[in-house]
């Protein structure tokens, strides 16, 4: 099984859609997760069809930020339990609790993909003010308790870079 996750930072331009088509054509992922789409449901529906995926679920953006979508090739391979994102710092604990609960209920291997709006260390970002230590500690506790494993990044050095 092959999966692709991309923080596309607005999926509006034809160039980004063409890039997504090229990557899905060459890599043939079973699943594609997009975050920060800033796109309405109807647009995600057209992209799903254009990419040749069987199904999808999308959450529309709020104002001019957010938006997520998950596309899949085979509906029988999907058991969607939750699709969630919490941009507010004061509410991050909700996603951490969800991940811990999902890990307790998992009978099979599972994967968390996407932009969780968290970092594990100050060295994971460049620029801007320091990330609040209580959020780093809370996310580290979640990763440990849910038995998650942080995968190495291939490509860009930082997962968060201002500008």
- Which candidate, 138, 97, 103, 104, places its Cα nearest to that of 120? 138
Using one digit for the tens of pLDDT, what is the confidence trace for 1-43? 788 988 888 888 889 999 999 999 999 999 999 988 999 999 9
Q: What is the pLDDT of residue 156?
A: 66
Q: What is the pLDDT of residue 1?
A: 78
Using one digit for the tens of pLDDT, what is the confidence trace for 122-151? 988 888 899 999 999 999 999 999 999 988
pTM: 0.80
Q: What is the pLDDT of residue 128?
A: 87
Strand partners, 55: 72
Q: Are 124 and 158 spatial neighbours (Cβ–Cβ below 8 Å)?
A: yes
User: What does the angle CA 117 – CA 121 – CA 126 come to, to the nearest 5 degrees?
Assistant: 75
Q: In whole angstroms, give the CA distance from residue 32 to residue 34.
A: 7
Alpha helices in the chain (DSSP H): 14-27, 41-51, 92-105, 133-145
Walk me through the domains of the chain, giving residue ranges and CATH numbers.
1-74 (3.40.50.150), 84-163 (no CATH)
In what helix (H) or strand (E) does residue 5 lie, and over which residues does it extend? strand 3-7
């Amino acid at each position: 099984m092959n999966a692709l996750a991309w923080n596309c930072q607005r999926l509006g331009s034809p160039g980004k859609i063409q890039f997504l088509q090229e990557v899905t054509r060459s890599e043939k992922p079973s699943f594609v997760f997009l975050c920060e789409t800033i796109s309405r449901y109807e647009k995600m529906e057209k992209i799903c069809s254009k990419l040749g995926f069987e199904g999808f679920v999308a959450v529309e953006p709020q104002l001019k930020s957010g938006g997520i979508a998950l596309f899949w090739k085979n509906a029988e391979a999907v058991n969607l339990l939750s699709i969630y994102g919490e941009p507010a710092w004061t509410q991050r604990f909700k996603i951490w609790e969800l991940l811990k609960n999902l890990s307790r209920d998992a009978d099979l291997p599972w994967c968390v993909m996407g932009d969780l709006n968290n970092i594990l260390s100050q060295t994971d970002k460049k620029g801007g003010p320091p990330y609040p230590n209580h959020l780093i500690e809370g996310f580290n506790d979640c990763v440990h308790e849910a038995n998650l494993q942080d995968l190495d990044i291939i490509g860009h050095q930082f997962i968060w870079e201002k500008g």
